[in-house]
Amino acid sequence: MCLVAGILSGFSCGLILTCGCSTGGLDVLGLYLSKKGTGFTVGRFSITFNTALYVLCAPLREDLFWRGQYSSGQVPRSANEVMKDWYLMTLRNDLKRLE
């Protein structure tokens, strides 16, 4: 069922972008850059932006999972817990710097 939903979602998003419309989010900036003639397509812009985002966020994830509190092998139960723990760890580090 998920495979069918993914195929339909990808097809519909591709159809929307082919018509020159936007689904919101990064598509707006991608459409602007493609219509301006900068050599970017919406897909190329999205892949470039997401790759840059993953590369910039990779050190945060490494710090959280391998040098942080999860080094004992404990695995978080959800992404919300990971974000909450990262926020608390960042807040503790900021408070230590202020002392």
pLDDT of residue 8: 92
Q: With a cut of 70, which residues of the chain have pLDDT below it? A: 59-80
**Please, which residues have CB within 8 angstroms of residue 3's CB and are 6 or more apart in sequence?**
none
Q: Which two tokens stand for residue 19?
A: 């018509």
